[in-house]
């Protein structure tokens, strides 16, 4: 199947409300005949949002009390323009970052962060979306269910949601996607200014946290009973 056919099918799936996880695992040369990468990125972001939200809406009551309410999706913003960037805590959201803002209960991602990360693979927007959504989930939980390392817990919840969605069939992984996810997590560790610096783990910790969620699901992300 050609790249173009793949993209058309994925776009159709996204429009139909199901989701697909596009990815080749390898850099694809962009030719004039290809859809613009920005178009693919927007489709992947939309798919990531839909798959993550559907996962939590479907499975919330398997783990938690009450009913699930989704965060507001502010989505892409231009962090280089404080005049138009969303505001959180009285400050415009900055460039090169992604956020869950508790006071507005919304998630948002800087266009520069997404565009730059997307060049390293289309797994990027899935990780960013599912991780920030993980913070929204944390904000809905009692403090007793938050682990001492909330950033790693968000990575774990991202793994649980993305692979849970794959198990549900609402997200389809292609060859190379799982390796891309690991590579993206490694790239995001440490010095990468994705959310607040200083409270993310190193590459290995982040990959391990994500893998815990992938393999053990949501329960593996919660404080373990002694």
Sort 151 into a burial class: Cβ within 10 Å, 0-12 / 13-18 / 19+: buried
Residue whose CB is less far from Zn ion, 76 or 136? 136
Q: Closer CB to Zn ion, residue 148 or residue 169?
A: 148
Interatomic CA distance for residues 220 and 64, integer angstroms? 14
Q: Tell me whether residue 192 or residue 195 sits nearer to Zn ion (CB atom).
A: 195
Stretch that binds Zn ion, among 105-113, 118-126, 152-160, 218-226 (CB under 5 A): 152-160
What string of DSSP letters covers 79-127? TT-TTTS-EETTEE--TT-EEEETTTTEEEEEHHHHHHHHTT-TTHHHH
Report the site for Zn ion in 167-226 (rule: CB under 5 A): 195
Backbone φ, ψ for residue 113 (5° rounding):
-60, -45
Burial level of 88, CB count in 10 A (0-12/13-18/19+)? middle
Using CB under 5 A as the binding criterion, the count of chain residues that bind Zn ion stands at 3
CB of 110 to Zn ion, least distance (A): 14
Q: Closer CB to Zn ion, residue 59 or residue 135?
A: 135
| β-bridge mates for residue 72, sequence order | 106
Q: Which of residues 112-151 bind Zn ion (CB under 5 A)?
A: 151
Query: Which sign does the torsion angle of CA 187, 191, 193, 199 carry?
Result: positive
Binding segment for Zn ion among 14-22, 43-51, 154-162, 174-182 (CB under 5 A)? 154-162
Helix axes 177-188, 203-216, angle to 10 degrees: 140
The piece of 2-10, 73-81, 122-130, 153-161 that touches Zn ion (CB under 5 A) is 153-161
Nearest distance from residue 211's CB to Zn ion, in Å? 17
- Residue of this chain nearest to Zn ion (CB atom): 195
Q: Which of 14, 108, 111, 154 binds Zn ion (CB under 5 A)?
A: 154
Least Å distance, CB 15 to Zn ion, is 30
| 48 lines the binding site for Zn ion (CB under 5 A) | no
Question: CA 189, CA 208: separation in Å to the nearest integer?
Answer: 12
Q: CA triplet 179, 47, 101: central angle to 5 degrees? A: 95
User: In angstroms, what is the minimal distance from the CB of 100 to Zn ion?
Assistant: 7
* Smallest separation (angstroms) from Zn ion to the CB of 161: 14
134 closest CA partner among 30, 202, 221: 221
Residues in touch with Zn ion (CB under 5 A): 151, 154, 195
């Amino acid at each position: 199947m050609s790249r173009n056919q793949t993209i058309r099918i994925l776009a159709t799936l996204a429009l139909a409300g199901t989701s697909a996880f596009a990815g080749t695992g390898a850099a694809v040369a962009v030719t004039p005949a290809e859809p613009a990468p920005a178009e693919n990125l927007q489709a992947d972001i939309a798919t990531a949002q839909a798959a993550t939200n559907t996962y939590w809406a479907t499975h919330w009551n398997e783990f938690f009390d009450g009913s699930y309410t989704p965060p507001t999706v502010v989505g892409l913003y231009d962090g280089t323009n404080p005049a138009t960037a969303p505001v959180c805590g009285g400050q415009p959201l900055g460039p090169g970052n992604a956020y869950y803002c508790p006071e507005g209960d919304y998630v948002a991602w800087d266009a520069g962060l997404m565009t730059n990360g997307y060049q390293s693979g289309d797994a990027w927007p899935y990780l960013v979306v599912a991780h920030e959504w993980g913070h929204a989930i944390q904000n809905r939980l009692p403090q007793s269910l938050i682990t001492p390392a909330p950033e790693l817990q968000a990575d774990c919840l991202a793994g649980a949601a993305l692979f849970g969605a794959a198990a549900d069939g609402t997200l389809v992984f292609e060859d190379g996607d799982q390796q891309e996810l690991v590579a993206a997590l490694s790239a995001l560790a440490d010095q990468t200014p994705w959310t607040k610096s200083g409270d993310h783990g190193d590459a290995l910790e982040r990959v391990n946290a994500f893998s815990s969620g992938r393999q053990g699901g949501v329960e593996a992300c919660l404080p373990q009973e002694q």
